[in-house]
Amino acid sequence: MKIEEGFLGQLMLVLSPLKRRKMLVHPFSKLLYPTAIGYYPLASYHERERAEGSKDYILLHCVDGQGFVEENGASVILNPDSFYILSKNARHRYGSASKKPWSIYWIHFNGKHADTLYHRYCLNRDRNHAILTYDQSRTETFNYLMDCMQKDFDEVLLETLYIHLLRYLSSFSHLNEQHGHNGHDPVSKVALFMKENIRRNFELKDFAGIANYSVTRFSQLFRMKTGYAPVQYFLQLKIQYACQYLSFTDMSIGEIAEELGYSDQFYFSRLFKKLTGRSPLAYRKQNTNFVSIVKQV
């Protein structure tokens, strides 16, 4: 396998022809299978254009910064916690914003069930660019898929890969059915504000004021929709960012702490261990074992 220089901290894996053949003869995986997967953090100058489109569907999930997607003459701006699924064989172009380069998770996928998922996505497209609420399991599923795709394929692994890929993709294609929102409600508005101001610190009253609700009522609404108290949700977002920085960059613990609004790196380290069960250094050691492979998507 050829290792290419790319974005600092990037993850990228493209399946070999042998693994593809194994997937295409399995009764599960032939219905829905990944062909490439990756994560690009702070991907400055990242841009891709395909005049003839791709033979696969492509999911682009922006988690930070900003980028754009153009497909068949239509243009969409992707902000933090938004996404787009590109159709097969459709001319397209996408890329990172110059001032606020995006960080994206992406995956190429195909199969009969991929057609069904894409159809559902299109039916909800006008609403489907709503803000994705925080869901740690989505990131965990992505990492699990990446891990599975690096292993030798056997019957059980192919079944497991299919199940988790379906779970991951349906969290985007069936977003409205799962969460029942249009992205313009007060909770989604505050969730986006949190994401865009992850480097600052706020009190509960600040979030309630943005939503124009009392502290008590806003807390009730927020917990009903996300399962978290507002301040706890914001803290979980900070920890999620910290995990990404630890896994995909060479930033020091102090630099990460400062990036997330903590002037005391020891306080940040204690907080991180309390919420994850591991120190930042232990987390970094355990989660930096992926290899960047072949050219960028």
Which residues neighbour 227 within 8 Å (Cβ) at sequence distance 6 or greater?
none
Q: How far apart are CA 263 and CA 259, in angstroms?
A: 9
Burial class of 232 by CB neighbour count within 10 A (0 to 12, 13 to 18, 19+):
middle
Instruction: Name the CA dihedral angle for 123, 90, 165, 240, rounded to a multiple of 10 degrees.
Output: -90
Read off the pTM: 0.69
Pick the more confident residue, 137 or 238: 238
Q: Taking a C-beta distance cutoff of 8 angstroms, is the pair 161, 147 a contact? A: no
147-181 exposure pattern, b = at least 16 Cβ within 10 A, e = fewer: ebbeeebeeebbebbbebbbebbbbbbebbeebeb
32 by Cβ neighbours in 10 Å (0-12 / 13-18 / 19+) ranks as buried
> Taking the CB of residue 30, how many other CB atoms lie within 10 A of it?
17
Picking from 235, 236, 247, 260, the residue whose alpha carbon sits closest to that of residue 135 is: 236
pLDDT at 2: 32
pLDDT at position 182 is: 47
- Give the pLDDT score at 224: 82
Terminal Cα distance for the chain, rounded: 16
Give the homologous superfamily in CATH for domain 186-286: Homeodomain-like (1.10.10.60)
The predicted structure's pLDDT at residue 7: 59
> Which pLDDT value is given to residue 122?
87
pLDDT band at 244 (very low <50, low <70, confident <90, very high): confident
Q: Provide the residue ranges of all domains of the chain, joining segments of one domain with +.
A: 11-179, 186-286
Q: What is the mean pLDDT of the chain?
A: 86
For position 10, what pLDDT does the model report?
A: 76
pLDDT tens digits, 7-39: 566 788 999 999 999 999 999 999 999 999 999
Query: Has residue 241 got a pLDDT over 80?
Result: yes
Q: Could you give the C-alpha distances from 18 to 121, 153, 212, 219, in angstroms and in order?
A: 30, 10, 56, 52
pLDDT at 246: 86
Question: 186-286: same fold as 11-179?
Answer: no
Over residues 206-219, the mean pLDDT reads 91
Please, what is the Cα angle at 277 between 275 and 279, to 5 degrees? 95
Domain 11-179 has CATH 2.60.120.10: yes
The strand pair at 57-64 and 103-110 is best described as antiparallel
Instruction: Assess whether pLDDT exceeds 60 at residue 237.
Output: yes
pLDDT at 226: 80
Torsional sign, CA 227, 229, 235, 237? positive
Write down the pLDDT at residue 92: 96
Is a pLDDT exceeding 70 seen at residue 281?
yes
Amino acid present at 2 = K
- Band of residue 99 on the pLDDT scale cut at 50, 70, 90: confident
- Which one-letter amino acid corresponds to residue 38? G
Q: Reply yes or no on whether the pLDDT at 98 is more than 90.
A: no
Q: How many residues are listed for the chain in this entry? A: 297
pLDDT at 184: 59
